Amino acid sequence: MNGLMMQQQLLISSLLVHADRHHADQEIVSRRVEGDIHRYTYRDLARRSRQMANALAALGVKDSDRVGTLAWNGYRHMELYYAVSGSGAILHTINPRLHPDQIVYIADHAEDQVLFFDLTFLPIIEAIAPRVKTIKHFVAMTDRAHMPRETKVANLLCYEELLEAQSDRYEWPQFDENHASSMCYTSGTTGNPKGVLYSHRSTVLHAYAGALPDVLDCSANDSILPVVPMFHVNAWSLPYVGCMVGAKMVYPGPGLDGKSLYELMESEQVTLSAGVPTVWQGLLGYMEQNGLRFSSMKRTVIGGSACPPAMTKKFNEAYGVHVLHAWGMTEMSPLGTVCAFKPKHLKATQEERYAVQAKQGRGVFGVDMKVVDPNGRELPWDGKSSGDLLVRGPWVIEKYFKGEGGDPLVDGWFPTGDVATIDADGYMQITDRSKDVIKSGGEWISSIDLENIAMAHPAVAMAACIASKHPKWDERPLLVVMKKPGAEVTREELLKFYEGKIAKWWMPDDVVFVESIPLGATGKMLKNRLREQFKDYKLPTA
Ligand code: ADP
């Protein structure tokens, strides 16, 4: 017997309609590429998204056509989130930090029909326009007054002109919730990037989960500043959650340096933010140098790579901001786990709480996870047994776009490529990416643990721990360190800093100091690059 409830499809447009009806006067504030601060409301967002949906139809965009964006976080990008997906087309957010060759590859692979871009990225558009095969229109996300006077791009269209030419009357079409809504390519550190195709259903369910108190904890009383880019896995769902709960949204545009972020957080009384550890370093450095404090910030979500405990501590003790450590991936929409406390932790000591926060957290309802040994047998949740982490759930990938790479699943589970433990309370901790593990004498050493310790040293700006060849042990840890400007520390002092913090056999065999550590398009350390750079390095112990 079926239930007797309405069969209403879960569509992204319904989030916008909800925000328009229930939170019409809530603000959306954006720092623009044009240099000023723009503010409007959810009512304006809904109206202009309807106009943009009409403009897309006028450009000949049809159901399931891919529409690309190369854009910062801002209100026009949010309009495209709703106009493109809501009208039945597919929003393809592209990471502008990728190499132009990769951008051409993914725009062709996705068969994008139109590409919207922020003016910052005009040089990229000029480089790729003669090369891409399917894009018929390039649209600059600006008004007539700011349109480039001279450009090599033929027939460049203007966002505001397209929009203003259209009526704001538009009925959002109703269709099956399994219809594709948006797509994002994995960064492809090895091989070509692969497309992940989200659906309306997966996106709306993911947004519901994202808003929960033990997840991102969002409400109409929040002012949310996503530093995580809208071109990276849907800004961890925040542009959807914003409409769902009616939160004030604050978009930083291109201003991702410490000063710009701090000023916006203060002027817009931001309560919640989200981003990768590297951006927070910039913000914390700026605040420290200038002796600044927050007046409204309460919590920040940190994920994308491991949040060093030293950062969690700094946020908490110096600035009164609670860190929510989170883990996920492009293939998971991205939310997988978030580190929220259980009641027992509220009675624990501060040090015990920091130890919990070093973990990536508990599974969000909707994501089932397990760790397995090399034979695929599930390992116990004891906080010690580490193995490959597998996940499944309604917002986890089943197949890559166009079946690239074959069937990614193992018995219905998606192998994340991460190595992790899960403790008896269900807190998962990533020890490594499988390709980054250091295998010494048949045992694994966690590179993340070793990096976290180095990052707690006051002279260290960034540290990467990689495997270095060893005749006896196969591999041993080599620590690559970038110092803070003006700070001094020696190899011996750093190694001494490890004493008592780790098992002796985990001690890095050597330390090398570098001017900079290479970062990938999403702000993560490129350890494969470092492994290449130090592949012939001779350890003193070898
Ligand atoms: P890519 O790095 O290829 O762009 P994603 O952005 O999807 O792909 O990153 C997913 C990966 O990032 C995860 O599989 C994991 O290795 C790493 N990651 C994400 N969050 C964390 C975290 N909090 N701690 C450690 N690693 C993380």
Report whether residue 330 contacts ligand 1, using a CB cutoff of 6 Å: yes
Radius of gyration of the chain (CA): 24
3-class secondary-structure state, position 27: strand
Task: Give the Å distances, CA to CA, from 12 to 80, 178, 180, 241, 397.
Answer: 12, 11, 11, 11, 19
Report whether residue 527 contacts ligand 1, using a CB cutoff of 6 Å: no
pLDDT score, position 503: 86
Question: What number does the ligand 1 atom closest to the CA of 326 have?
Answer: 23
Contacts with 382 (C-beta within 8 Å, 6 or more apart), sequence order = 421, 423, 424
Q: Give nearest CA residue, ligand 1 atom 1.
A: 187
3-class secondary-structure state, position 170: coil
Count of other CB atoms within 10 angstroms of residue 456: 17
- The pTM assigned to this predicted structure is 0.93
pLDDT score, position 278: 87
Report whether residue 113 contacts ligand 1, using a CB cutoff of 6 Å: no
233 C-alpha to ligand 1 centroid (Å): 11
Report whether residue 417 contacts ligand 1, using a CB cutoff of 6 Å: yes
pLDDT score, position 188: 61
pLDDT score, position 201: 98
Question: Using CB atoms within 10 A of its CB, is residue 515 exposed (0-12), middle (13-18) or buried (19+)?
Answer: exposed
Q: What is the spatial distance between Cα 321 and Cα 313, in angstroms, rounded to a whole number?
A: 9
pLDDT score, position 520: 85
What residues are annotated to the active site?
A: 186, 331, 439, 444
Q: Which of 85, 74, 73 is nearest to 16 (CA)?
A: 85
CB-based contact 251:28 (threshold 8 Å)? yes
Q: Give nearest CA residue, ligand 1 atom 11.
A: 329
3-class secondary-structure state, position 482: strand
The best mutation among 324, 367, 430, 437 to test binding of ligand 1, ranked by most ligand atoms within 8 Å of the C-beta, falls on 430
515 C-alpha to ligand 1 centroid (Å): 25
Contacts with 14 (C-beta within 8 Å, 6 or more apart), sequence order = 8, 172, 204
524 C-alpha to ligand 1 centroid (Å): 8
pLDDT score, position 184: 97
The pLDDT profile of the chain, 542 residues, written as one tens digit per residue, is 999 999 999 999 999 999 999 999 999 999 999 989 999 999 999 999 999 999 999 999 999 999 999 999 999 999 999 999 999 999 999 999 988 999 999 999 999 999 999 999 999 999 999 999 999 999 999 999 999 998 999 889 999 999 999 999 999 999 999 999 999 999 765 678 999 999 999 999 999 999 999 999 999 999 999 999 999 999 999 999 999 999 999 999 999 999 999 999 999 999 999 999 988 989 999 999 999 999 999 999 999 999 999 999 999 999 999 999 999 999 999 999 999 999 999 999 999 999 999 999 999 999 999 999 999 999 999 999 999 999 999 999 999 999 998 999 999 999 999 999 999 999 999 999 888 889 888 888 989 999 999 999 999 999 999 999 998 889 999 999 999 999 999 999 999 999 999 888 999 999 999 999 999 888 889 998 999 999 999 999 88
pLDDT score, position 147: 97
Q: Is the peptide bond before 415 cis (omega within 30 degrees of 0)?
A: no
491 C-alpha to ligand 1 centroid (Å): 29
Task: Give the Å distances, CA to CA, from 385 to 179, 376, 380, 404, 454.
Answer: 40, 13, 7, 32, 24
Report whether residue 337 contacts ligand 1, using a CB cutoff of 6 Å: no
Query: Which two structure tokens, joined as six digits, stand for 65?
Result: 């056509």
195 C-alpha to ligand 1 centroid (Å): 16
Sequential DSSP letters for 414-472: EEEEEEEEE-TT-EEEEEEEGGG-EEETTEEE-HHHHHHHHHTSTTEEEEEEEEEEETT
Task: Give the Å distances, CA to CA, from 388 to 377, 384, 422, 525.
Answer: 10, 13, 11, 21
Task: Tell me how long the chain is.
Answer: 542
CB-based contact 126:152 (threshold 8 Å)? yes
Q: What is the spatial distance between Cα 391 and Cα 228, in angstroms, rounded to a whole number?
A: 23
State phi, psi for 117 to the nearest 5 degrees: -145, 150
Q: Give nearest CA residue, ligand 1 atom 13.
A: 329
Q: What is the spatial distance between Cα 46 and Cα 28, in angstroms, rounded to a whole number?
A: 12
Q: What is the spatial distance between Cα 203 and Cα 178, in angstroms, rounded to a whole number?
A: 10
Report whether residue 416 contacts ligand 1, using a CB cutoff of 6 Å: yes
